[in-house]
């Protein structure tokens, strides 16, 4: 019986490992404000194209023909709005869903007094970045150097995941 109590104690005291999911995402909408504002998810379009060309020659004559196609997927604006403050982004996920994330000012320890103990969220200026999704948070990661080796990051709260069109 004592062994059972020890095993239960180990499971209670040890945190459960939760794996994070790292995805390449694209910011399709952004808004920032220090005061409360309403954020409404905009629509977006994605297109993929392909082309083919064939040429053949006979003596001094060359004949070519070609074809191309484009597929476009459009998502209408969502009738969903959020009352937020801080930085809010709509992230297009690889599977077509849209993650809406928000970050408000963070606590920053310094001697400016209670009113000055906040810092603004770090905000990417690039549109293509990585997002590490874990629980209710999304850690946005983006390059900040010419060689792409130095990275910056900030943790945002997931407000919602909208389905693909």
- Tell me if 48 is assigned to some domain: yes
- Among 154, 165, 27, smallest CA distance to 100 is for 27
- Tell me if 126 is assigned to some domain: yes
Q: What is the mean pLDDT of residues 48-66?
A: 81
Of all residues in the chain, the percent with pLDDT exceeding 90 is: 39
pLDDT band at 20 (very low <50, low <70, confident <90, very high): confident
- Cα separation values, 158 from 23, 62, 100, 117, 131, Å: 14, 57, 6, 24, 11
Domain that holds residue 54: 15-162
CB burial class (10 A; 0-12, 13-18, 19+) of residue 23? middle
- Tell me if 7 is assigned to some domain: no
- Tell me if 55 is assigned to some domain: yes
Q: What is the mean pLDDT of the chain?
A: 80
Q: Which of the 8 DSSP states describes residue 65?
A: E
- Tell me if 1 is assigned to some domain: no
> Is 80 exceeded by the pLDDT of residue 148?
yes
- Tell me if 145 is assigned to some domain: yes
- Tell me if 109 is assigned to some domain: yes
Q: What is the mean pLDDT of residues 103-121?
A: 70
Confidence (pLDDT) at 112:
56
pLDDT band at 135 (very low <50, low <70, confident <90, very high): very high
Confidence (pLDDT) at 45:
64
User: Six-digit token pair at 120?
Assistant: 């603004």
Number of domains in the chain: 1
pLDDT band at 90 (very low <50, low <70, confident <90, very high): very high
- Tell me if 79 is assigned to some domain: yes
- Among 69, 68, 25, smallest CA distance to 44 is for 25
Give residue for tokens 């597929």. 71
């Amino acid at each position: 019986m004592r062994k059972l109590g020890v095993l239960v104690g180990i499971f209670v005291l040890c945190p459960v490992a939760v794996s994070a999911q790292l995805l390449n995402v694209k910011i399709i909408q952004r808004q920032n404000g220090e005061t409360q504002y309403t954020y409404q998810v905009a629509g977006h379009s994605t297109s993929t194209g392909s082309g083919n060309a064939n040429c053949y020659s006979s003596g001094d004559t060359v004949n070519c023909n070609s074809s191309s196609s484009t597929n476009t997927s459009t998502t209408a604006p969502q009738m969903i709005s959020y009352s937020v403050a801080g930085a809010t982004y709509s992230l297009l996920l690889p599977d077509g869903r849209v993650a809406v994330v928000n970050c408000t000012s963070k606590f920053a320890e310094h001697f400016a007094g209670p009113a000055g103990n906040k810092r603004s969220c770090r905000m990417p200026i690039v549109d293509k970045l990585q997002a590490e999704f874990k629980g209710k948070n999304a850690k946005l990661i983006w390059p900040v150097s010419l060689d792409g080796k130095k990275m910056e990051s900030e943790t945002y709260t997931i407000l919602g995941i909208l389905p693909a069109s």
